Chains A and B, each alone.
Chain A
C-alpha cells in the first residue's frame, strides 16, 4: 500500500435552487467550479488526472443512470480516463473517496479526482416512489405513514428517555452549528440563530424542529488524491489520508429502520457507522480521543450528541454537557463539525462525503479562518446513507 495525499480541494458554495448563490446552475456547472478549484489548488491540469471516482446522484445529471462522473469528464474534456460512478445513498461521496483512495493506495494510479455534486428537488427526500406491496418502503408509507425525519425523531425521543436530554439541549446543537458557519464563505447559512429562534421553529416530527433538521441544498465538492512519491513534486507539506473505510449494516442492528425486527437484548446502535469508524481508527492506528476534530453527518442535531458517544469520543450521556460547556466548538476539546455541518450547509446528498474531506483538508492546513481548530493534526470525516451504507476517513498532517 502506498501513502495517499490530498493534493487539492475545491467547493462550490451551497445554496437553494433559484437563490443568489446557485441560481439555476446545473450540477455540471457546480461540479466544474469545484473541480477547477481543486485542480488549481493542486497545481495540476485536467489532462494530468488519471481516473475519476464520482458520487452517483439519483436527483440530478448522470443521464438518469447515475453517470455523474461521465458528465464531469465530458464537460472538462474527454481524455478517455476510467470513470467509477459510486452509488451509496447519502454515503456516495464517502464511497467515491474510498474508491479514489484505494486506486492510489493500491498503486493503480498516481492522480485521481474525486467529485460529487447535486441539484436537489424541493422538500423532503422521498425514499421510494413505487406502489408495490413487495417494497417494504411502500408498506411503511401506506400502512404507517412515516415522514422523513420520523426515524431520527424516534431516536431523539429515546435519547431523551435514556439520558435525560432536553429539547433545549438539542436546540443548542443548532445554535452551535450556526455559530460555526458564521463567516464560512461556503456555507448556505452564514448567520447565527438564537436559542429562542430554534425553539420557536415548528415541530417537523416531534421532538425535532424545523431548525434542527438539515434542508436539501445544491452544491459540489472535489478533491485530487495523489501518491506520496508524486505529491512531493508538488508540495512539501501535503495532508495525508491516514485511513479510509466503508461498511454496511450488521444483522445485529436493531434500530427501527424498517417495519419490524427482533427485540434486542441490549442497546441499539448504528452498526454500519460504528463498523466504518472503528475500521478507520484501527487502520490509522489512532484512538477516538486523539482526534483534533470530526466532520460528521448531522442530518439532525441528534447526531452531534449520539455519534460521539457511539464512537467512544466521550462517555454515553456526556455529549450534551460537553456541548453546553462549549467543548464541541472549534476551540473546545471535542470539536464537532467546525464547518457548521449539514445543519448550516444543507444536504447536497452525494456531495457531502467529499465536502467533508475539503473542510478537513483546510482545517489541517490551518486555512479555515474563523472556524479554525487551533493546531488541528488529525480529523475524522463520516457519512452514512440509505441501504445501510457508511464511510469513515481519517486525515492527518
Chain B
C-alpha cells in the first residue's frame, strides 16, 4: 500500500539529504532568526532589515514543556482516539527557540533533555498522511 504524504501546511518545513528543517528567515543585519518567515525585521534596534531565507533544524535542548491532556479545539487535527502528547519549547543550537510536539511519551520528557527536529505524521485524512515538525528525544 503506497502512502500519500503531505505537509499539514505547505512550505513551512522540509526533510531532505540535509535533514529536517523548518523554513524561516534570518536578518543578516542584526542576526535575529524568525519562523515562519517575516518580510521585515522586527528588532527596533536593527540598523536596517536584511532578511534572508534560513532553515532551522538539528539538535536542541528542552527549555520547558507542557502536556495536552485534552484535544485542542479546531483548527487542530488529530487521529482519534486522542492520545495526550507533550509540547516542547526547544532551544535549538541553530539559534531558534521553537515550539513543537514531542513524539516520545510525555512521561519520558524532562526539562533540559536533548532533542532533535524531525518531520513526523500529525493526522490522517482522506487516505493521506499529513506531517508536521516535531521533536524526538536523542
Q: How far is the CB of B103 from chain A (nearest CB, A)?
A: 13
Binary CB contact string for chain B from 88 to 108 against chain A (1 if under 8 A, 0 otherwise): 010110011111110000100
Given contacts A143-B122, A161-B111, A251-B42, contact A154 B64 (CB under 8 A): yes
Partner of A262, one of B33, B77, B111: B33
With A154-B87, A260-B96, A263-B95 in contact, do A147 and B132 touch (Cβ < 8 Å)? no
Instruction: Provide the bound-state CA to CA distance between A264 and B63, in Å.
Output: 11
Tally of B interface residues using CB under 8 Å: 51
CB neighbors of B among A147-168 (8 A): 147, 149-151, 153-158, 160-161
B53 within 8 A of A: no
A205 contacts partner chain B, Cβ-Cβ < 8 Å? yes
Q: Which of A139, A153, A206, A264 contacts B9 (CB 8 A)?
A: A139
Report chain A residues within 8 Å CB of B45.
Answer: 251
CB distance from A260 to the nearest CB of B (A): 4
Number of A-B contacts (CB under 8 A): 132
Known A-B contacts A143-B132, A144-B132, A259-B99; the reply to A157 vs B111 at CB < 8 A is yes
**Contact flag A259-B36 (CB < 8 Å), given A143-B9, A206-B69:** yes
> Which one of A130-138, A185-193, A333-341, A345-353 is at the interface?
A130-138
Whole-angstrom distance from the CB of A371 to the nearest CB of chain B? Answer: 32
The chain A residue sitting closest to B38, CB to CB, is A136
Contact flags (1/0) for B33-72 with A, using CB distance below 8 Å? 1111000001111000000000010000001111111111
Interface size on A, residues (CB 8 A): 44
B69 close to A262 (CB less than 8 A): no
Greatest chain A CB density within 10 A among B63, B75, B78, B133 is at B75
Which residues of chain B come closer than 8 Å to A158, judged between CB atoms? 63-64, 111
Is B8's beta carbon under 8 Å from chain A? Answer: yes
Q: Does A108 contact B (CB under 8 A)?
A: no
Asked if A256 lies at the interface with its beta carbon under 8 angstroms from chain B, I say yes
How distant is the Cα of A205 from the Cα of B44 in the complex, in angstroms?
A: 35
Query: Are the CB atoms of A146 and B36 closer together than 8 Å?
Result: no
- Interface membership of A203, Cβ < 8 A: yes
Assembled-state Cα–Cα distance A150/B68 (Å) = 7
Contacts of A156 in B (CB 8 A): 66
A81 within 8 A of B: no
- Lowest 6 A-B CB distances belong to which pairs? A153-B66, A206-B67, A158-B64, A145-B76, A260-B35, A161-B111
Beyond A138-B75, A154-B89, 6 additional contacts (C-beta under 8 Å) are A143-B132, A146-B87, A151-B66, A206-B67, A258-B99, A260-B97
